[in-house]
Structures are given as structure tokens and as C-alpha cells.
Structure 1
Amino acid sequence: MNLRRLKYFIKIVDVGSLTQAADILHIAQPALSQQLATLEGEVNQQLLIRTKRGVTPTEAGKILYIHAQAILRQCDQAQSAIDGSALALSGSVSVGLAPGTAAQQLALPLMEEVHRQYPGIVLYFNENFGTTLSELIMNGRMDMAVIYGNREIHGLRFMPLMKEELYFVCPHALSKPLKTVSLAQVAKYDLFLPRIYNIMRKVIDDAFIHEEVTYRVKCEIESQTTLNAALAAGLGCTIMPESAARAMLKASGSWMAKIDKPNIQAALSFCMSDHLPLSQPAEAVKAILLSLMASRTVDNRPLTLVG
């Protein structure tokens, strides 16, 4: 039996009139009569007796009326339980955040909002390079991550979030600060960059190749602590997305300049498995994270989301 027809039937019995019930339900009387006829066909019984004064339920109608009320009450209780189930979500949810990304600044707001909405969920944060985080997701050891890149990779699904411009980060010991630099100027310095399988390295390599500029990689570093120390010692420079560059200036004793010839951008994406479904707690955390990404600012500037 259709729940909507049961609601109609209850209303008809309550008011004792098809015409009045149709007005209350905001449907045409012929349509309501058709719904009643369909319901009587489903139960194979006449449910109402039509009189000049209106309608009254038959014995079968009285029985159905009692059961219909109980059925609809249980449905309402079930919906209330479902609506309230979110408050009871519990479990562990792992979130990866690439170091220095705009998303990394949302770690504390995410923690606070998850605790406010779902106190039973325990967050686990992992700050690491994108390749490590994506491997953990592919292996089912991490639920989600915000990392650079959006390439098609078997086992992963990417949701583009925003794009960040790349900046040249140089120690004060090697040069006076500049506001902008060209890629040709950057190539004059020894560079510390991640390994070639890193998406950030690929973006940088592609830019140099496109400009037909040769550059020098002094050392491949994927540790932020080591990178900061190398720059602080004046051993070389690096190239980073804007938020990552800003985050390392103090620790590395450096300045940053936008690379404007050409302008280079890195895509920041939400990453999850393309075949392993998220748990209910993880889905809840995902929704909060994406909402925060859409509403927060970085260094008092709105995030420029894509898609």
C-alpha cells in the first residue's frame, strides 16, 4: 500500500467528506476519488460508504483506519530516528593534508566543527606529501586527503578545489627580496625540489620545458624540516605554491616572489578512493571539510575555488 494513499484515507475519515478532504489536501476531488478507488482495489474491500451527509468508513475501513494510523506513526518515528542518527555517528576518520596547503590551515576549524556536530567521531590527521597520502588512500589506510594534483590515477578520484600560483622562495643570504621573478631568473639559482614522481615537480618541470629554460636541481627534498634548514643555511632556493611558501618563510629565513613569466598554477584537489566507499562518519567529515574550503579565507583573502 502507498503511504500517501493511507494519509489521504485517514484525512477523508477524519473530516467525513471527500470534498473537504480534497480542499485540505490541496488536490482535485476527482484525483482524490481515484486515489481512494486505487486503495480499495489494493485491499480488495470497500472502505467508505458515501451518503448525502458525506462518507463513513465500512467495517473494513475502520480496521484499515486504525492500522494506517499506526503505520504512519511508525514511519514518522523511523524518519525521526534516521534524522537523529547523525548525532550518534562515531568512529575514526583519517584526513590527509599536504604540508603548507590552504587546506592545512583548516585543520583546527575542521576539528572544532566535527566535534561540535559529531562528538563521537575521532579525527586522525596525517600531514605528508601527496604521493604518500594517495598511496595510503589506494591501500584503504586513509579515508581522504587534500593534495596537489588532479591527474587520472587508477584507484583514486579527484575533486578540484582551487588553484594556487607558484612562488620562488629564496634565502635573504642569497639575494635581496623581489616582488616578482621570471622563470629565467629562477633558473640562475640552485634549487631544492621534490622527486620527479611528485605532482609539484611535474608542474615545475613542464613549465621549464615549455619556456625552454635549463635549471639546476641541487638536491631532491621531500621533508619540510630539511627544506627549511637547507634554505636557512643559504644553500639554495625552492619553488612552492603560495600558501606553502608563506608558511615556510620565517623558519627558512627567506622571502618569496611570484613567478609571473610565465604564471604557473598548481591544482589543489580533494582525493578519495574511486572504489572504496566512505563510511557514514567519513561522509560527514567530507561534507564539513568541503564546506569549510568553500567558506574560509587564507591570509584574509577568499579561497578561489574551481569547478
Structure 2
Amino acid sequence: MNLRRLKYFVKIVDIGSLTQAAEVLHIAQPALSQQVATLEGELDQQLLIRTKRGVTPTEAGKILYSHACTILRQCEQAQAAVINAGQMLTGQVSIGLAPGTAASSLTMPLLQSVREQFPEVLVYLHENSGASLNEKVMNGQLDMAVLYDRAPTAGITSMPLMKEELYLVGATACPGQNIDLADVAMMNLFLPRDYSAIRKRVDEAFTLRRLSARIIGEIESIATLSSAVSSGMGGTVLPESAARALVSSTNAWMSRITSPTLNLALSLNVSARRPLSPSAQAVKNILLSLLNKPMIEERELMLVS
């Protein structure tokens, strides 16, 4: 194997088409097909399944893709580290954010801080579900991810950041500052899909209380969720930071769920197998400092009051 073939293979899998990958890579399709055939011969494994709609990786191809992404990313980091030795930090740093996390409100302060301290570093922000973000961190597509984590994941190093309580958010008659879980079960709800950490925590709480949730829609997008709640058709359950953000931009209210109180742990996840580049480490430090600021300020307000 060589790096060029690995680069070609990753591009083909990412695009899902030999023809389009050849155009992007500026090489003839027969030559690209030959590179794949050589790679398959070296590994003695079929790596791609060719169909009329394009190409998809085999199980062996998925394994190679994961390793190839890591290898190529490490090569880029090694090259950047050598080039930038003793110089200003440069390069791209990719961060995954689960929708509705406390970190979502810090995107602009993060971009501004990185711009001021490391003007040659480009920050790429990617929003997706927690499970998808962990996968992208492991295969090298993301440097780090901030998400609500419910269980340890192999290949991931997780740093606990804070715990957030869950709140009911709605736009019709407000039940007050607190609401019993049994009363939440009587309401129409918009919730994310069942792979979401928020959904898993809510389902778990309902099951323990022998209750059933009245789910009338599954929504991932915070913007769409805001519109759905504002319509008055139903409410939703969100961590406190996301709940406050939604309430501040709409006519909705938020009520803390009790009996039992529900919470989720916010974590910063990085790969356990790949060290962060100097640029990624610098951005990580800025992100941690921004995440700690609201918690410090909240503690100070509590002491004053």
C-alpha cells in the first residue's frame, strides 16, 4: 500500500462514485480503477461493490476506510507540525457539535477567539447526532466532538464537562417552574430519534415510571423544533442551555422536570488512538475555557445571591 492509493480509495468512498472521484482527483477513470484493483490485490480482499448507482465499500473496505482516514490525517498533522515548527499555528481544526448542547451557543465566541489568537487556523464546525460524531472522531474526520454521552465508547477518550438538567419546553399554558414526569406523559411531544442521548434518557425515565410518551413527531433540527413548539401543537424536552436558547427566541416557556429529576452529562470526546495536532490542542484549550466560563459565572451569581 502507498499513501496515494489510500487517498484515492478514501475519496472514492466519500463520493460514492468512481467517475466523479476521477473528475475530482483529475485522473482518468480507468487509471483510478486500476489503482483500486492494485490495492485489492495487495490486500487480497474486495474493497468496493460496484453497482449502477455507484460504489459502496465492503466490510473489508469499511475497515480499510477507517484506518486510511486515520493514516492520512496523521500524515497531514506530521507534515504541518514539521513545517510549522517554531512558527505560527496553521491548518484546519474540525469540531463536532450535537444539536442542542451547551457548546452550540459558544460557536461565535469560539470562532472569534481562534481568529484573534490563531488567525491562520481554520475552524470547521459540524452538527450531527452523538453516535455519528463519535464515529467521525474515530475515523479521523473530526478532531473532537462535544456531545451528551451516556456510555463509554471504544476508541474514544471522553472528558466530562458538566451535567445539565432536562426541561419541558412548550408554548401553551405554562404549568409553572416545575412539572412532574407523569404530567409530561399527558402532553404531546416532539422528540429526537431514539439514538439521541436526550431521547434515550427520556425513554428510560418513562419506562422506570411505567409511563408512555405521547410522541407526535421526531425532529433533530433545533430550528424546526422551535417552529414546531411555537405552533402550540406540542412541547419538547431539552437540556437547560438549549431550553433557555429556544425560550429566548420564541414565545415559549420552560419547566424543570421533577419526580424524577432528569440530567445528562456533556462531554468533550477525542480519539484514543490519534494525538491532537498542535492547532487542534490550542483550539481545544479555547473551547474548554469558554465552556468553563458560564459555569464559573453561575457559581459566582449563586454565591452573591
> Same fold by TM (over 0.5)?
yes
Alignment of 1:1-307 (within 5 A): 85=85, 88-172=88-172, 175-297=173-295
CA apart distance, 1:211: 1.9
Moved more, 234-243 or 290-299: 290-299
State the secondary structure of the residue aligned to 2:116. Answer: helix
Task: Give the secondary-structure state (helix, strand or coil) at the position aligned to 1:167.
Answer: strand
Q: Distance in 2 between matches of 1:301 and 1:252?
A: 27
Contact 2:189/2:235 (CA < 8 Å) preserved in 1?
Answer: yes
Which is greater in Rg?
1
> 2:166 & 2:86 partners in 1: Cα distance?
40
Instruction: Report if aligned partners of 1:150, 1:159 keep a CA contact under 8 Å in 2.
Output: no
Residues 219-256 of structure 1: per-residue CA shift (max 9 Å, x gap): 22112222122212222111100011111125453211
Measure the CA separation in 2 of the matches of 1:143 and 1:281: 10
**Distance in 2, Cα, partners of 1:301 & 1:97:** 25
- Distance in 2 separating the partners of 1:87 and 1:114: 16
Q: CA RMSD in A?
A: 2.6
State the alpha-carbon separation in 2 of the partners of residues 90 and 107 from structure 1.
19
What is the CA distance between 1:291 and its match in structure 2?
Answer: 2.3
Whether the 8 Å contact between 1:110 and 1:292 is mirrored in structure 2 is yes
279 and 236 in structure 1: CA distance in 2 versus 1, 3 angstrom threshold: same
1:298 Cα offset (Å): 8.8
Q: Deviations over 1:70-112 (max 9, x none)?
A: xxxxxxxxxxxx9x95651110001122233222222222222
Conserved? CA contact 2:99–2:221, under 8 Å: no
Note closer, same or farther for the CA distance 1:299–1:97 as it changes in structure 2 (3 Å cut).
farther
Shift of 1:139: 2.6
Residues 203 and 303 (structure 1 numbering): CA distance in 2 closer, same or farther, change over 3 Å? farther
- Give 3-state SS (helix, strand or coil) of 1:88's partner: coil
Cα distance change, pair 303–121 in 1 and its aligned pair in 2 (3 A): farther
Instruction: Read off the aligned partner of 1:229 and give its amino acid letter.
Output: S
Runs of 4+ residues deviating >4 angstroms? 84-87, 297-304
Higher mean displacement: 155-164 or 124-133:
124-133
Matched to 2:182, the amino acid is: A
State the TM-score, normalized to the length of structure 1: 0.65
Q: Identical aligned pairs, as a percentage?
A: 45
Cα separation, 1, equivalents of 2:301 and 2:128: 22
**How far apart in 1 are the matches of 2:296 and 2:103?**
9
Assess, with a 3 A threshold, how the Cα gap between structure 1 residues 261 and 240 changes in structure 2: closer, same or farther: same
The unaligned stretches of length 5 or more in structure 1 are 1-81
Matched residues, number: 220
Question: CA–CA distance in 1 between the matches of 2:266 and 2:287?
Answer: 14
1:90-148 per-residue CA deviation (whole Å, 9 max, x = no partner) reads 10001122233222222222222222322221111223332332232233111111111
Question: Could you tell me how far apart the structure 1 residues matched to 2:301 and 2:162 are?
Answer: 7
In 2, Cα distance between equivalents of 1:296 and 1:242:
13
Report the counterpart of residue 64 of structure 1 in structure 2: none
Relative to 1, partners in 2 of residues 1:185 and 1:302: Cα closer, same or farther, differing over 3 Å? farther
Which sections of structure 2, spanning at least 5 residues, go unmatched?
1-81
Question: Whole-Å Cα distance in 1 between the matches of residues 301 and 123 of structure 2?
Answer: 24
- How many angstroms does 1:303 deviate by? 11
Give the conservation status (yes or no) of the 8 Å contact 1:150–1:158: no
Tell me the distance in 2 between the aligned counterparts of 1:159 and 1:254.
33
Secondary structure of the residue that 2:154 maps to in structure 1?
coil
